[in-house]
Structure 1
C-alpha cells in the first residue's frame, strides 16, 4: 500500500528537515521516544537503527538515505504486523526561505490479515493523519519553549 501526501511547514527546508528525524520528532510527536540500540551521534546517518514503541508494538527503523535539508528515508518493520518504507522530501514553498512543502510517502505491506485491515483504516485516514502532523508542528513552533516550541501532539496510527 503506497500513500503519499503533503503538508506545509513554516520553516525553510534546511530547518524543517530536523523535524522528520528520529530525535527531531521527539519535539512535536507526543509519545515518540526513539531508542538507539547502539549510541549514535548523527541520527540521520544511513544505516542508523532505532526502535519505537506505540500501541503495544515495537517498530524497528533503519535510515536508508538522506540529503540534508532535502530528504530522508527509512525502512521500518513491525514484526508480525507490517513492513515497508517511509520517505520524506522537503522543497521550498511559498515565500522564498520561509516555508517548506513536505511530501511524505508510506509504502507498507501488511504481514497479517489484521494488519491488512488496520492499514486499510490508516489509508482511509491518511489525509487527516498528515493534517495532524502539520497542526502538531505549527503548535510546537508557536509554543513558548521554541521561542516558539513546546511539544505538540499527534496520534500513532499503524503506519507510524
Structure 2
C-alpha cells in the first residue's frame, strides 16, 4: 500500500539588492529574467499579471506542473504558491523577503512537498538532497542576471 512522503524544507540567502528590486524576482514573470528555460504558460490572468489566485503551468522534461498563487502579500513581501504535478507530488512554496538594509535583502524559501505516488516520493527525496544546492544556484543566477543588467545599463 502506498505511503505518501511529506517533507518540509527551508533555507535562505542574502541578495545585494534593495527589497523592491529583489521581491518581484520571485513572481512567475520575474523568474523569466534569471531562471533558464522558465516559461510559464498563463491561464489566468492571461497576461501573467501577478495576483492572488493566478493560475499558470510550467513543464520540465515530460512533467507538467500546475500552479496557483495562493497568498500574495506585497506589503509583507511574501508569496505562497501551491502547485501540483499530477500523479507525482503536491507542493507548497513560500518565499518571503526581508530588507536587511537599504541595499540588501534576505530571501527565505520554504517547500512542503507531499508525494502522490512512488514516483513523487522519489522526486521528493531527490529534491531534498539537492535543496541547499538549488538555493545556492538561485543566488548565483540572480547575481549573474544583476551583473548583466548593470553592464547593459552603464553609460
Aligned to 1:126: 131
Larger Rg: 1 or 2? 2
**Corresponding residue SS for 1:46:** coil
- Name the CA distance, whole Å, in 1 between partners of 2:8 and 2:31: 22
TM-score, normalization by structure 1: 0.85
Matching of residue 97 in structure 1 with residue 124 in structure 2? no
Which has the larger strand fraction?
2
Aligned to 1:142: 147
Please give the root-mean-square deviation of Cα atoms over the aligned residues, in Å: 1.5
**CA distance change for structure 1 residues 39 and 46 in 2, over 3 Å: closer, same or farther?**
closer
Contact 2:79/2:95 (8 A) holds in 1: yes
Q: How many corresponding residue pairs?
A: 145
Which has the larger helix fraction?
2
Structure 1 residue 42: Cα displacement: 6.0
Contact 1:65/1:74 (8 A) holds in 2: yes
Structure 1: gaps spanning 5 or more residues: 150-160
Contact 2:82/2:93 (8 A) holds in 1: yes
> Runs (4+) of structure 1 moved beyond 2 Å?
38-44
**CA distance change for structure 1 residues 71 and 148 in 2, over 3 Å: closer, same or farther?**
farther
**CA distance change for structure 1 residues 91 and 19 in 2, over 3 Å: closer, same or farther?**
same
Matching of residue 83 in structure 1 with residue 86 in structure 2? no
Structure 1 residue 41: Cα displacement: 4.9
- Name the CA distance, whole Å, in 1 between partners of 2:11 and 2:82: 18
**Corresponding residue SS for 2:134:** helix
**Corresponding residue SS for 2:69:** strand
Structure 1 residue 121: Cα displacement: 1.6
Structure-to-structure mapping, 1:8-157, within 5 angstroms = 8-41=14-47, 43-68=49-74, 70-93=77-100, 96-143=101-148, 146-148=149-151
**Corresponding residue SS for 1:18:** helix
